[in-house]
Chain A
Amino acid sequence: MAAPVTAEPRVGGERQMVPRDKPRSYYGLPIVKRPAWTWEVPWYLFTGGTAGGLAAVAIFARGTGEAKLGRRARRLALAGAVVSPALLISDLGRPERFLNMLRVFRPTSPMSLGSWTLAGFGSALGAAEMADFVGLPNVVVGTLEAAAGILGPILANYTAVLLADTANPIWRGGRTILPFVFTGSSVAAAGASLCVAGPPEESVAARRMVAWGTAVEQASFLLMQRRLGPLAEPYRDGPAGRLAKVHRASSLTGAALISVLGRRSRKVAILGGALTLAGSAALRQCVYRAGFQSAADPRYLVDSQREAAAASGQGKTATG
Chain B
Amino acid sequence: MTAATTGRRPAVSLPMWQGGGTRMGFFTDSSICIGCKACEVACKEWNGVPDIDTGFTGNSYDNTSALGANSWRHVAFVERPRPDTGDGVQWLMNSDVCKHCTRAACLDVCPTGAIFRSEFGTVVVQDDICNGCGYCVVACPFGVLERREEPDGRAFKCTLCYDRLEVGDEPACAKACPTQSIQFGPLEELRERAEKRLEEVKREPRFAGARLYGESKDDGVGGFGAFFLLLDEPEVYGLPPKPVYRRTDLALLWGAASVAASVLTLGVMGSLRWRRR
Contact = CB atoms under 8 A, between A and B. Distances in A.
19 contacts: A24-B236, A26-B76, A35-B134, A35-B138, A63-B274, A92-B133, A108-B108, A153-B265, A154-B257, A165-B139, A166-B135, A167-B142, A167-B240, A175-B249, A175-B256, A176-B256, A183-B264, A212-B271, A318-B242
B181 to A, nearest CB: 18
A80 interface: no
A104 B12 contact: yes
A3 B134 CA distance: 51
Interface of A: 15, 17-18, 20, 23-27, 29-37, 52-53, 56-57, 60-61, 63-66, 92-94, 97, 100-101, 103-104, 106, 108-112, 115, 153-154, 156-158, 160-162, 164-168, 171, 175-180, 182-183, 186-187, 191, 204-206, 208-209, 212-213, 216, 291, 295, 298, 301-302, 305-306, 308-309, 314, 317-320
Nearest to A156: B264
B211 A305 contact: no
B235 A153 contact: no
A104 B211 contact: no
Contacts, number: 283
Q: Name A's interface SS.
A: helix
Interface residues of B, number: 94
Interface of B: 11-12, 15, 57-60, 62, 65-66, 68, 76, 78-81, 105, 108-113, 129, 131-135, 137-143, 145-147, 152-153, 155, 211-216, 218-221, 224, 227, 230, 232-245, 247, 249-250, 252-254, 256-257, 259-265, 267-274, 276-277
A320 B249 contact: no
B261 A153 contact: yes
Contacts of A175: 249, 252-253, 256
Contacts of B243: 167, 305, 320
A111 B256 CA distance: 17
Contact of A32 (B11, B143, B214, B242): B143
Nearest to A101: B111
A212 B267 contact: yes
A263 B113 CA distance: 51
B242 A25 contact: no
Contact of B137 (A23, A35, A92): A35
A18 B264 contact: no
Contacts of A115: 111
A296 to B, nearest CB: 11
Closest 6 CB pairs of A and B: A26-B238, A153-B261, A36-B134, A112-B111, A305-B242, A208-B271
A115 B133 CA distance: 11
A168 B261 contact: no
Contacts of B68: 33
A110 B238 CA distance: 28
Given A167-B105, A298-B235, A305-B243, A20 B257 contact: no
A157 B257 contact: yes
A32 B211 contact: no
